[in-house]
Amino acid sequence: MKKKHILYLGLALGTMIGIQSCKVVEETGPTDTLEVIETSFKEIANNSLHGNGAEKIEEGVVVINSEKDWNALRTKMNSVNQSMAEKSIDFKKNTVLVYFDGIKGSGGHTVEVKKINELSEKLYVVMAKKKPKGDAIEIMTQPYCVVLIDKTDKTISFTE
């Protein structure tokens, strides 16, 4: 009988040592935490194109860092209707972000930038899309939003 008790005692002691060695050890060294920084921006246009796609602008994001690219986009946007007014931008200090929504079958659709967060080497642009409430005029529209940020060469990601 004593052998059995010694065996149980050894098993219990081994289990306790095993459990004791599984304790979580708190690290006191430096941690790799990433800081999210909210980035300021200025909305310079929020409107809709009305050319039923004749402008040939696809849904998506355009990042502009030069006067040449800015003028080319404005010319394309204004090819059917005067959608984008003249805006003088200092591209040595600023980057322009443009989001074009898809073509919609009615008015009242809008898109807007809610906030821009910087995390490490990437900017995350948080968008909001709104649909019309109730009846809306039946017209083909393509909502867009144009914002100005400080000059950047970081990767930019748009999310809803």
Residues 46-56 have a mean pLDDT of 91
Which of 4-8, 17-21, 31-35, 58-62 has the highest average model confidence (pLDDT)? 58-62
CB 47 within 8 A of CB 83: yes
CA-nearest of 151, 147, 90 to 116 is 147
What 3-state class would DSSP assign to 10? helix
Residue predicted with more confidence, 10 or 149: 149
The secondary structure of 62-128 as a DSSP string is: EEE-SHHHHHHHHHHHTTTS--S------TTTEEEEEEE---BSSS--EEEEEEEEEETTEEEEEEE
pLDDT of residue 27: 44
Q: What is the CA radius of gyration of the chain?
A: 28
pLDDT in tens, 16-44: 554 444 444 444 444 456 788 899 999 99
Whole-structure pTM value: 0.75
pLDDT of residue 62: 94
